[in-house]
Structure 1
Amino acid sequence: MKFGKEFKAQMVPEWQEAYMDYHYLKNLLKELQRFKGKNERSPTTSARLQRKLTLVRAFSGLTQRHNHSTTPSPTDVECQDNLVNSVEQGGSGVYEIMSPILKAEEGEIELLYFKRLDEEFNKVVEFYRSKVEEVMNEAALLNKQMDALIAFRVKVRNPQGFMDSSVEMARLSVDVATSTAALSATTPSAARSSRRIFDIGTIEEVEEEISKIGQSDDVEFSVAKDVEKPKTTKQSSQEGKPNSIRASTRPAPLQVLRSVKMNNTLETPRSTIKGCLNVPQCREMNFTRENLEKVQNQLKRAFVEFYHKLRFLKSYSFMNTLAFSKIMKKYDKITSKHASKAFLKKVDDSYLGSSDKVTKLMERVESTFIKHFSNSNRGKGMKILRQKAKKEKHKVTFTLGFFAGCSVSLLVSLIMVIHTRDLLIMEFKQERTQYMQNMFPLYSFFGFIVLHMLMYAGNIYFWQQYRVNYSFIFGFKQGTQLGYREVFFLSFGLSVLAQASVLSNLDLEMDPKTKSHHAITELVPLALLVLVIAILFCPFNIIYRSSRFFFLTCLFHCICAPLYKVTLPDFFLADQLTSQVQAFRSFEFFLCYYGMGDYRLRQNTCKRNDAYNAFLFIVAAVPYWCRFLQCFRRLFEEKDPMQGYNGLKYFSTIVAVSVRTAYSLNRGLAWRIVAFISSAFAAVFSTYWDLVFDWGLLQKHSKNPWLRDKLLIPYKSVYFGAMVLNVLLRLAWLQTVLNFKLPFLHTEALVTIVACLEIIRRGIWNFFRIENEHLNNVGKYRAFKSVPLPFNYDEEDEEKDE
């Protein structure tokens, strides 16, 4: 693989604009190489050459001729000497250094190259410096969290206190100090707040040292924070030993827990209700093992995410340094000059190449995590910190192909059976009418789910193709997210089960031996539904348990809206549910058909039941209502009026769906007019919101007219086609208002087709919605999750202690 492709593949997707623009610089060198070749072949016509648009301006074309000798020309020597002298003296950029030399030869391409090289170098260095400062501040914050954790741990393990107060203070002092030594060595703010240097150790090692401290008269602990004790002879002799504890100046006082309060990071419906009623929450420290376990898990996740960020920073530094080296070697090869050595020395001496803060901080984070979160087991700790990317398994690919082939074969067989028995035609025998009214809505439920899963698998495939970091956007745990192969495998597996059930049901009805057993043959769809629900809620670690539980958690949050804080996976799933209204109605028919016992007589009395008709309104409005409550919750928390307008969009859809349902039951002219007006308003409102706010398109003053400034797909026609298709598929509700009837399709089949069109529209919407979210993250360089920390320090108490 060429370096350019490898460089792009190794980029952090959200930081791609902060990387060195290797592609642009490489194109400049290619242009320089083409010009030098033309200049050598026809030097008299070089003055008439014009620059391309990518080079911004025209140049005369008189650059230095190629020297075939191995000895550098005087100009090359002068260029290299100037660069070396500038680097040694900390001089200006390469552009200013090369200008007087190259202008003499009118080498404007090279000037443009070095000017852009300087800009890219400064951009990379400044971005790296800012990110290093961020992680240093986060390290200082983690220092204080580890202080509280160790003190909390000691309190839990010794609830009755210590026999001697001085020993208690010594124990707390050593525990707290050992937890933060690794990070405080590289964080100035932490070093100022705690002037002590300790090696990280486990609680057991600390307890051994406490016994030594209790018997030693040479070590003195002081609660005062502004007094430093001079080092004793024994302390000085212990400096530099890796497994020794140097109690130097200021031990952590016992009051470390007095200025700390627990953060209520786990939000529940109960806590939300208390917050709305302004009920004071108890934030006192309860030193229980349950709370200790929660605190340790939270800090463990925080350390994993922090280490992940450090790895990205280290990769950023390495890849950019390597890119500068590659591009300068290409320049030397094309021009036969020797400018790379001096420039790379400048790179090595810069903050990008010389700062080792990230590397040292990574080592200290590893040491802290291994000792305090993996019981000093380095292999276990590093496996958690350096989670490997999920590898594609051959058995998944093989099983996917097998299920896909079976699904296609069953689909062909099903089409032939339907065509032979004329099941979809309006005018047929009574028994066929019963099948379409009874069985078809039951099996269509699984068809809606399979189609939605296929669309989602296609979304994942194209997100990966265009490097959309969907795993980070949805908050999937690294190594557990499903790829498009796994989703295709699940969807085709369910498709095989559903189509096999349909064919078996038709076969049982056609067989004279089983035709009389109405109840048994009608139970096939119910058996399939029970099997799917059992797999979904299966507690065993099979069939992607983590993904199933993640889905169930988001689904529960949607149902309980607005009692949970709204995150992107929650409202994204709620949007998916709004496109599955017909599936919810099919599920309602499941409950009615089998609950009322209609399956025994092969008759459908549900539509004559008032309770069933009332639930048609409720079932259709529930997904939109959940989404409306989520918007209301975000409006209350974020004070963003756009969330209020978004909520109005879903409320208008609730009205439109309810009116259309009423029209389908009453069939009156007044209901028809009201349904058309409400549906038209909701469709226009929703379409405008989709294109402008969810997709970020239709921007008048963007670089790409009527699109947006940044596009992942290089073909603009795709975006215009998607917008037109979104509008057309939004109008599928016209079938319910205008009451279209096709002689070659049954009403149930037509309703199913319209529902499938809405699912397809949602699948298209998904790609551009997540693309827009990804580009927003890129614009803000947002590449990491914010992990809530368990402790909150009271700054006023800390100032009083100081």
Structure 2
Amino acid sequence: MKFGKEFASQTVPEWREAYINYKYLKALLKEILIFRQRRCRLPENSQVNPKPRLKRRVSLNFRAFSGLTNNSPRKYKEDHEVIVVNTMQQDEEQGRSSSTYHTIFLRSSEEGGDLELVFFKRLDDEFNKVVHFYKTKVEEAVKQAEELNVQMDALIALRIKVNNPLMETIQESKTREEHHDINEHKTASLDVLNRVKINATRETPRSTVRGVFNSLNVDLNYSKSEVKDAQGKLKQAFIEFHEKLRFLKNYAFLNQLAISKIMKKYDKITSRNASDAYLGMVEESQLSQSDEVAKLIERVESAFIKHFCKGDRNRGMNTLRPKSKREKHRVTFLVGCFFGCSLALVAAIITSIHARDLLNGEGKTKYMNTIFPLYTLFGFMVLHMLMYAGNVYFWTRYRVNYSFIFGFKQGKELRFKQVLLLSFGLSVLVLAAVLANLEMEMDPETQSYKALTELLPLGLAIAVVSIAICPFNILYRTNRFSFLVSLWHCVCAPLYMVTLPDFFLADQLTSQVQLLRNVEFYVCYYGWGDFKKRDAATCNDSNIYKTLSIVIAVVPYWIRLLQCIRRFCEGSDTTQAMNGLKYLSTIAAVVTRTIYTQNRGTTLKIVAASTSGVATIFSTYWDLVMDWGLLCKDSENPWLRDKLILPNKSIYFIAMVLNVILRLAWMQTVLDFHEASFLHRNALIAIVASLEIIRRGIWNFFRLENEHLNNVGKFRAVKSVPLPFSYEDQDKDL
């Protein structure tokens, strides 16, 4: 792999704009090379002073700085000098000063010197950008370390107070002697507990209701639950802080290496000797000389191992520096195996239908009204997972940091092959059950079907739910738990603080309305219907069932409306109020359409079409402008946005057109397409529902792309963890 690609692959995605623009600097060198080749009348593909290349390439993580440490510097005569590097001090706010580096190119009068002058000017700009960003981030890290130090004092004091109330004096003295915090100061005394309050750490519906009337900061009760909650939050804060420090360390290393590489290329192309002078300046800069980050990393690791891992270094380092997840060959094998089995089962189902002429049989209508809705529920699940697998693949390919955005634990996120494994595994089970349920012949005496095969869909549903809530460490327990937590937050909205995973999941549910209705049908069919005779008349003719069908269709949009209200109340963001109105208009559209399908009538048809039209326009605008950030008229990319991840701009326009078309799928309900269609009504409903799932899959990619670019614009690369203790202003400098 060439250095440029390896450099790009190891950068922090959210800090991409802050790195050396190696690609552009390399392009400037190419212009210099082309000029020199033309001047010397050399073939275009020739190289100046070609040197043999090493066959073996070593990863960036194990390469030396290669020229940044001048152990044996070469001396040149004055007439061989190419550049002079000046360092200028600039005063900033609060009495601080910063260094700005400026290179004087001494050969600008030579032919082609203007190109080299441009190169050094851009190189200086890039290097100054890197130094300024690094200095800013280091200052932030130092302040954050001080804050964690104060929090750690309170936690240690709370531990002593709760765990050994009779040994406070002894433990306090011992702690003062042994404990050294991040900044190498001794801990505060137990008196600190009299000047701190504990933030509401474990958010529950009850704590949210209490927080409406009371402050979120409450006095300490000196309970073990407080210790546990505070320790958990502070532990996570240490982990995130350590990750930020590692990002900073890698940032400094990669940029120094990139400058070293680009200067060596310059020397090679121009046959000059400018790299030593420039790299000497780099070595003397804060980017190389500052050891604050390295010291902070050592102290954070020491404090974390001592106070959160009981001195177990292996355990502590495995937590702070988790190993990258290796791709397992068995996952690839099982994906291929299950995919092949799915194709074979589909072929078997098609063959069985045609061989027995089941499409024209007497039981066709019964099957489509009963068994078909039961299995389409799983079909919707499989399709949604397949779309998500595609999302993960393209997010990974274009370096959209979906793991950070969703808040997955490092190394625990599912990759696209693992999502495919779950998808095809479920499809095999479903298709096998479908094949078993194709037996449509009744027992002539009892006029009923076999109970075993009729209970297959219910057994499959129970199995899926059991696996989802299984507490044992099988089938990606961490991911299942995160999913269930977000689902619970959605159900309890607005009693939980709304995070991106929560409202993202709620958005997925708005595209699975038909799946939720199928769940309702499951309950009715197996609870009140006669499943042995495939009779669902009790459900379909019930007014209660029809009313619940309307309520269930509204639930996902109602959840999103409540989430928008919660976010509006927390931040007074008018955007959330408008987003809530969007979901309110969608609720009106869903209710009127459902009522129209149940009762018909010209007036209802007009009302349903009107509300659906308004909701579609509102939702489409929100998708394209607010969620995707597109349709910016004055952007660098007309009608798109300034920053794009996909190289082909036409894909964005195709996605916008598809979104509009698929948004209009509701028209089949109002215009009564199913009455003139050769398809069964339930089959047409399933197709329309599948189109909505596909639309949501497309929406997911561009929604997360926009979120990622927002994080890039704000250089957010690590999660912000709320700290457990709140100090009064006058006591914070303890």
Equivalents in 1 of 2:689, 2:306: separation in Å?
Answer: 56
Describe the shift of the 1:93–1:522 C-alpha distance in structure 2 as closer, same or farther (beyond 3 A). closer
Say if 2:357 is the partner of 1:413.
Answer: no
Task: Map 1:515-534 to 2 at 5 A.
Answer: 517-534=449-466
- Measure how far apart 1:87 and its partner are: 7.1
**Letter aligned with residue 27 of structure 1:** A
SS in 1 for 2:197: strand
Bigger mean CA offset, 393-402 vs 458-467: 393-402
Q: 515-524 or 504-513: which moved more?
A: 504-513
User: Aligned partners of 1:135 and 1:289: how far apart in 2?
Assistant: 31
Q: Does 1:436 align with 2:337?
A: no
CA contact (8 A) 1:95 1:111 kept: no
Matches of residues 17-166 of structure 1 in structure 2 within 5 Å?
Answer: 17-41=17-41, 77-79=80-82, 82-83=84-85, 86=86, 96-98=103-105, 100-161=106-167
- Supply the distance in 2 between the matched residues of 1:96 and 1:593 (Cα, whole angstroms): 79
CA distance in 1, matches of 2:303, 2:445: 72
What is the CA-CA distance between 1:174 and the residue it aligns to? 4.7
1:8 aligns with 2:14: no
**Structure 1 pair 763–449 and aligned structure 2 pair: CA distance change class (3 A):** same
Residue 402 of structure 1, aligned match among 322, 337, 340: 337
**CA 1:172–1:767 in 2, change beyond 3 Å: closer, same or farther?**
same
How far residue 155 of structure 1 moved from its aligned partner, in angstroms, is: 1.2
1:47-105 deviation per Cα after TM superposition (whole angstroms, max 9, x unaligned) = xxxxxxxxxxxxxxxxxxxxxxxx9997861325x45xx5799999776410x532354
Q: For residues 107 and 614 of structure 1, do their structure 2 counterparts lie closer, same or farther at Cα, with a shift above 3 Å needed?
A: same
Query: What RMSD in Å do the two structures reach over aligned CA positions?
Result: 2.5
Q: How far did 1:743 drift?
A: 4.5
| Structure 2 residue aligned with 1:272 | 208
Contact 1:183 1:364 in 2 (8 A): yes
CA 1:160–1:291: 2 relative to 1, 3 Å:
same
Matching residue's letter, 1:666: N
Aligned to 2:640: 707
Structure-2 change in CA distance of 1:797 and 1:88 (3 Å): closer
| Matches of 1:356 and 1:591, distance apart in 2 | 64
Contact 1:584 1:619 in 2 (8 A): yes
SS of residue matched to 1:704: coil
Letter in 1 for 2:521: F
Cα 1:369–1:766 change in 2 (3 A) is same
What does residue 243 of structure 1 align with? none
Q: Match of 1:193?
A: none
Gaps of 5+ in 2: 44-73, 91-97
Distance 1:388 1:565 in 2: 31
Superposition deviation, residue 42 in structure 1: 8.2
Residue equivalent to 2:250: 315
Q: Which of 622, 626, 630 pairs up with 2:555?
A: 622
1:640-698, Cα deviation, whole Å (9 max, x unpaired): 01101000000100010000000000011111111111101101110010000000000
For each residue in 1:467-523, what CA deviation from the matched residue of structure 2 results, as whole angstroms up to 9, or x when unmatched? Answer: 000000000011111010110000111111111000011147489999954433211
User: CA separation of 1:459/1:177 partners in 2, compared to 1, >3 Å: closer, same or farther?
Assistant: farther
CA pair 30-93 structure 1, distance change in 2 beyond 3 A: farther
User: In the TM superposition, what is the alpha-carbon distance from 1:175 to its structure 2 partner?
Assistant: 1.8
> Are the structure 2 counterparts of residues 117 and 417 from structure 1 closer, same or farther at C-alpha, using a change threshold of 3 Å?
same
* C-alpha distance in structure 2 between counterparts of 1:88 and 1:579, whole Å: 58
Change (3 A) 1:95 1:640: same
For 1:670, the aligned partner's letter is T
Counterpart of 2:81 in structure 1: which amino acid? Answer: E
Distance 1:351 1:757 in 2: 55
After TM superposition, the structure 1 stretch with the greater mean CA deviation from structure 2, 363-372 or 651-660, is 363-372
| AA in 1 matched with 2:380 | F
Residue 780, structure 1, aligned to residue 719, structure 2: no
1:256 corresponding residue in structure 2: 192
Shift of 1:379: 1.1
Structure 1 contact 151–175 (Cα < 8 Å) conserved? no
Contact 2:201 2:724 in 1 (8 A): yes
1:184 equivalent to 2:175? Answer: no
Report the counterpart of residue 50 of structure 2 in structure 1. none
1:292-311 pair list within 5 angstroms: 292-311=227-246
Matched residue SS, 2:218: coil
Identity %: 57
Deviates more, 1:315-324 or 1:504-513: 504-513
Distance 2:258 2:397 in 1: 23
Whether the 8 Å contact between 1:508 and 1:521 is mirrored in structure 2 is: no
- The correspondence for 2:703, drawn from 769, 775, 796, is 769
Going from structure 1 to structure 2, the CA distance change for 1:439 and 1:659 (only over 3 Å counts) comes to same
User: 2:471, 2:708 → 1: CA distance?
Assistant: 33
1:545 and 1:89 map into 2 onto residues whose CA distance is 54
Q: Which amino acid aligns with 1:489?
A: L
**1:105/1:577 CA distance change after superposition, 3 Å:** same
Question: Aligned letter for 1:252?
Answer: A
Quickly say closer, same or farther: Cα 1:73–1:253, change in 2 above 3 A. Answer: closer
Normalising by structure 1, report the TM-score.
0.83
Correspondence for 2:388: 456
The answer to which of 761-770 and 529-538 deviates more is: 529-538
Question: TM-score with structure 2 length normalisation?
Answer: 0.91
1:466 to 383, 395, 398: 398
Match of 1:228 in 2: none
Distance 1:760 1:501, change over 3 A: same
The residue matched to 2:437 in structure 1 has which SS?
helix
Whole-Å Cα distance in 2 between the matches of residues 115 and 401 of structure 1? 54
Q: Structure 1 residues 529 and 621 mapped into 2: Cα distance closer, same or farther (>3 Å)?
A: same
Q: Report the equivalent of 1:792.
A: 726
Q: Secondary structure at the match of 1:160?
A: helix
Counterpart residue number, 2:524: 592
Structure 1 residues without counterparts, runs of 5 or longer: 44-70, 163-167, 186-196, 199-250
Instruction: Tell me, in whole angstroms, the C-alpha distance in 1 between the residues paired with 2:216 and 2:5.
Output: 54
Over residues 513-568 of structure 1, what are the superposed CA-to-partner deviations in whole Å (9 max), with x where a residue is unaligned? 99954433211111111111111111111011111111011001001100100000
Does the 8 Å contact 1:148/1:176 carry over to 2? no
Is 1:736 equivalent to 2:669 in the alignment? Answer: yes
Matched, 1:363 2:298: yes
What is the letter of the counterpart of residue 39 of structure 1? R
- Cα pair distance change 1:679/1:419, threshold 3 Å: farther
Query: What is the CA–CA distance in structure 2 between the aligned matches of 1:632 and 1:733, rounded to whole Å?
Result: 27
Cα distance in 2, alignment partners of residues 626 and 752 from structure 1: 24
**Correspondence for 1:720 among 653, 657, 673:** 653
My pick for the range that moved more, 105-114 or 619-628, is 105-114
User: 1:313-352, aligned counterparts within 5 Å?
Assistant: 313-352=248-287
8 Å CA contact retained: 2:199, 2:724: yes
Once the 2 structures are TM-superposed, how far is the Cα of residue 37 of structure 1 from its aligned partner? 0.6
- In 1, the alpha carbon distance for the partners of 2:177 and 2:219 equals 24
Amino acid at match of 1:263: N
